[in-house]
A = this chain, B = another copy of it.
Amino acid sequence: MIISIDAASGLAIYDQIVRQIKFAIASEVLLPGELIPSVREMAKQTAVNPNTVSRAYRELQSEGILDIVRGTGLQVTTGAVRKCRKDRQGLIQERLRAVLKEAQQSQLEVDEIRQLIDSELARLNGKGTAE
């Protein structure tokens, strides 16, 4: 599982971690029962302070998505997949809605918005395919 942090995005780092882990579980990159990377390991991998990682993990625990195995690590719970699947679309939708609402408010022509969307999707796919 690869977590990529964009410190300049304006989104809280801990929240980026939370969301990406939910997505990983939703798409079964992380499976129930599996141990997620340790706080220290994730901190090293993402170049983020361990406390920040810990906060993200705590959040996931309080949502019932992770379970502590004392002295061993944090485990994906059995109910996590369903919960994360359910969350995934909502998380994306929420942000998408805000952006599209703003796009509309900007009085850009609908065509221009669609064009922007298409070019960005193409850009992402191109990138994804290229790598």
- Chain A residues proximal to chain B, CB less than 8 Å: 4, 6-7, 9-11, 13, 19-20, 23, 26-27, 29, 49, 62, 70-71, 88-89, 91-93, 95-108, 110, 112-113, 116-117, 120-121, 123-125, 128
Contact call A108/B89, Cβ cutoff below 8 A: yes
26 A-B pairs (CB sep. < 8 Å): A4-B105, A6-B98, A7-B70, A9-B98, A11-B98, A13-B70, A19-B106, A20-B105, A23-B106, A26-B106, A26-B107, A27-B106, A29-B107, A49-B71, A88-B108, A89-B108, A92-B108, A92-B113, A92-B116, A95-B102, A96-B103, A97-B123, A100-B120, A104-B124, A110-B121, A110-B125
